[in-house]
């Protein structure tokens, strides 16, 4: 009897602690959102776990904030109907994280979300990572990130979308006999990205992203919203930063090479089904 009571007390305590952590996580996530909206880069940096701080700087955080504001576009984020799961880092399988995913947008269909990750062993007062995702990655929905809903231009036809406030070019869309091509520009007319979708599979694309100086930032292929196949990330000076292969929804596979900014090889890691050997 006493044993059963002790067990019951333990279960209740576990639920209470878990509830407290969830409440902390929600409050910190709301704070992170407000700091993004108010463009307080340095305050947002201080909201991260200590071990993450060395890789963060004000310039990169401001870029993240600017991109995030474009993504959320003043749409609401539902902090009540969140989903959470326990995940492990593909870099360090000894660490566990709780990922909170809050529905983003007025539709409330769970297809887009604000994602905040906490150390499972932490106090939930600091975040480990956060992101604003406008593609369907929730487990209970179908990912449809691609050009399958696009009205494909005819051969030789070019469609141009402009920024409302400046009239500058926002995107250019056209096709040839094999591909639908989408080129996107920022407000200063710097090319941001170029995507190529095979006409026979519009959920697949090859993406090239660019830095403001015109040099390539990354080259990747996507299948139904997830990076797959050969992946390359570059430094702003044009040198290769890392490259390797992804399989099965962002699992690394084979040999991954990492380079220093001067172009010299830093290290090589081997992965099998997402696990570092």
141 within domain boundaries: no
Residue 153 forms part of a structural domain:
no
Q: Given pLDDT bands bounded at 50, 70 and 90, which one contains residue 206?
A: very high
**Domain co-membership, 67 together with 109:** yes
> Mean pLDDT throughout 213-219?
92
Do 218 and 122 fall within a single domain?
no
Task: State residue 14's pLDDT score.
Answer: 34
**Residue 194 burial (10 A CB sphere; 0-12, 13-18, 19+):** middle
pLDDT value of position 110: 54
Task: Tell me: do 210 and 260 sit in the same domain.
Answer: yes
pLDDT of residue 248: 74
Provide the pLDDT for residue 89. Answer: 61
Please compute, for residue 29, the number of CA atoms within 13 A of its CA located in the half-sphere on the CB side: 28
- Whether 221 and 268 share a structural domain: yes
Q: What is the pLDDT of residue 107?
A: 64
Please report, for the domain that includes residue 206, its CATH number.
Answer: 3.90.930.1
Average pLDDT over residues 256-267: 93
Q: Are residues 163 and 251 in the same domain?
A: yes
The helix or strand, by DSSP H or E, that contains position 9, with its residue range, turns out to be helix 2-37
Residue 252 lies in a domain: yes
Does the pLDDT value for residue 4 go beyond 50? no
Q: Is 106 left (phi over 0), alpha (psi -120 to 50) or beta?
A: alpha
Domain identity same for 206 and 242 = yes
Segments forming the whole domain that contains residue 262: 159-276
Most confident stretch, 20-29, 100-109, 141-150: 20-29
Residue 187 lies in a domain: yes
Distance CA 266, CA 210 (A): 23
Say if residues 66 and 95 touch (Cβ distance below 8 Å).
Answer: no
The contacts found for 204-210 with CB under 8 angstroms, 24 or more apart, are 204/146, 205/146, 205/147
Predicted confidence at residue 249, as pLDDT, reads 65
Question: 171 with 180: CB under 8 angstroms?
Answer: no
Domain count, the chain: 2
pLDDT in tens, 22-56: 899 999 999 999 999 999 999 999 999 988 888 88
Q: What is the pLDDT of residue 108?
A: 56
Domain termination site, one of 93, 116, 133:
133
- Mean pLDDT for the chain overall: 81
């Amino acid at each position: 009897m006493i044993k059963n009571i002790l067990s019951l007390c333990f279960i209740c305590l576990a639920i209470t602690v878990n509830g407290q952590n969830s409440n902390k996580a929600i409050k910190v996530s709301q704070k992170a959102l407000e700091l993004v909206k108010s463009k307080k880069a340095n305050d947002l940096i201080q909201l991260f776990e200590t071990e993450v701080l060395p890789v963060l700087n004000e310039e990169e955080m401001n870029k993240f904030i600017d991109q995030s504001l474009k993504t959320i576009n003043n749409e609401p984020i539902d902090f009540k109907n969140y989903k959470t799961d326990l995940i492990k880092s593909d870099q360090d399988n000894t660490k566990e994280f709780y990922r909170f995913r809050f529905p983003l947008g007025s539709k409330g269909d769970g297809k887009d979300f604000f994602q905040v990750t906490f150390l499972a062993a932490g106090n939930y007062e600091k975040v480990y990572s956060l992101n604003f995702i406008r593609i369907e990655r929730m487990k209970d929905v179908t990912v449809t990130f691609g050009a399958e809903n696009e009205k494909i231009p005819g051969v030789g036809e070019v469609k141009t979308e402009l920024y409302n406030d400046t009239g500058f070019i926002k995107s250019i869309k056209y096709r040839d006999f094999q591909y639908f091509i989408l080129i996107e520009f920022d407000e200063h007319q710097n090319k941001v990205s170029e995507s190529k979708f095979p006409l026979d599979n519009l959920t697949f694309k090859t993406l090239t992203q660019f830095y403001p100086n015109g040099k390539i930032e990354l080259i990747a292929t996507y299948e139904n919203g997830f990076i797959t196949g050969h992946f390359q990330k570059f430094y702003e000076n044009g040198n290769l930063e890392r490259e390797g292969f992804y399989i099965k929804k962002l699992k690394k596979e084979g040999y991954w090479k990492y380079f220093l900014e001067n172009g010299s090889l830093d290290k090589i890691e081997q992965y099998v089904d997402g696990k570092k050997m």
